A = this chain, B = another copy of it.
Amino acid sequence: MRVIVVGAGIIGLSTAWYLRRLGAEVTIIDPVPALGASHAAAGMIAPAAEVVWGQTPLYPLMQASAQMYPEFAAEVASAAAVDLGFTDAGTLVCAGDSADLQALRELREAQSRSGFATEIITGSAARRVEPSLSPAVAGAVHIPGDRSIDPRRVSAALLSAVTSESGFLLIRQRAVELLKDGDVTVGVALSDGRRVEADQVILCAGSTSNAIAGAPQLPLREVWGDVLRLRAPAEATPLLTRTIRGLVSGRSVYLVPRPDGEIVLGASSREDGLSGTPAGAVHRLLADGQRLVPGILDAEIADITTRARPGSPDDLPFIGRIDSGCVVSTGYFRHGVLLAPFGGRLGAELALGAVSDWIPEGAAESVSPHRFTTETTSAYPNHSPAYSNYNPAHSTRSMS
């Protein structure tokens, strides 16, 4: 079976990884592999800390993927012979002040209702385990064993592993059009004029998926984010040993330390369409970050990355079959790294017609690319989609 994967972000690459195990021949198409949203991502594999109100159908997916991660990461690290910065040092979700602590208590209740066992500890207790925390931190949710990974290393390792395989090909071009035979996708036209045919095409092009002619027009939106990579001075290393997430005057901020001393500070969430790095976003990240960990101001800024995440109306991805030659796997929003094993395996199995009996009950419906279309618009015409079936209550349905 010949499969084209459009997009070499972490989803396209993990899809290719699982396709390899299922014996497919794979061609990956991406003009700049591994430099999209995954290049910005911090790499928290932290389902409990990702709990926010009204995203209940997302949790089973996050939990399933988190459970797949240790084996996935070990195999990828082994195949590429690189360290992926995978740790299980845990997370503290910190309250910047006492008002933030109240919000944190409510969040913790939502986590409990979603089946995540977490505990609130005092600010002093938090500082005992992470001495770099500010004296102003009023309390924290402690999530021991929470994991993180370096997404840049994961992407590089996946790219190296899959492209070193015979039967694998990476084409550094942009996919501009899905080739069709009637209603059925039979290949991809590239920006250099080439046409590549295959038995199956999987669209993993993130927020650029809709720009491909003939592709299903999904209700994707670009949610821009800005992320700083910091390096603490040698005498202050390690500044942090576990992931610090926080609420600061109601705003979210996180600091993810890597085993190699790098600290990822993020993340803004903007729908302003600005592809550049706004001064205000950097100012806000540094201001909020230093409210939790004052020592970051002594660190060097090694890198500032701005990327668009592919957001969906209910923050769930779109994973499903579009026609008998095409599967879509995009819209992972801020969960692409966490959901990579889940989405990669599911997308690969969908493309090859394998049965995915391992996914949580109801997950296939939760991620269906058809869930926002009217019943009469099942063919996804290549123009503005019909969103009439979109109901904000959908995402909280299972709570009732």
Q: Which residues of A contact B (CB under 8 A)?
A: 228, 230-231, 233, 274, 276-280, 282-283, 286-287, 290, 296-302, 304
Name the B residues within 8 Å of A299 (CB-CB).
278-279
> Smallest CB-CB separation from A301: which chain B residue?
B277
Q: In the complex, are the beta carbons of A283 and B280 less than 8 A apart? A: no
Name the B residues within 8 Å of A304 (CB-CB).
301, 304
A279-B286 contact in complex given A274-B300, A301-B304, A304-B301, C-beta closer than 8 Å: yes
A297-B276 contact in complex given A286-B286, A287-B287, C-beta closer than 8 Å: no
Copies per complex of this chain:
2
The distance from the CB of A381 to the nearest CB of chain B, in whole angstroms, is 34
Q: In the complex, what distance in Å separates the CA atom of A222 from the CA atom of B296? A: 23
Q: In the complex, are the beta carbons of B290 and A276 less than 8 A apart? A: no
Name the B residues within 8 Å of A280 (CB-CB).
290, 297-298
B279, B296, B298, B300: the one contacting A301 at CB < 8 Å is B279
> Smallest CB-CB separation from A302: which chain B residue?
B276
Name the B residues within 8 Å of A287 (CB-CB).
283, 287
Name the B residues within 8 Å of A228 (CB-CB).
279
The distance from the CB of A303 to the nearest CB of chain B, in whole angstroms, is 10
Q: In the complex, are the beta carbons of A277 and B300 less than 8 A apart? A: yes
A282-B300 contact in complex given A231-B276, A287-B287, C-beta closer than 8 Å: no
A286-B277 contact in complex given A301-B304, A304-B301, C-beta closer than 8 Å: no
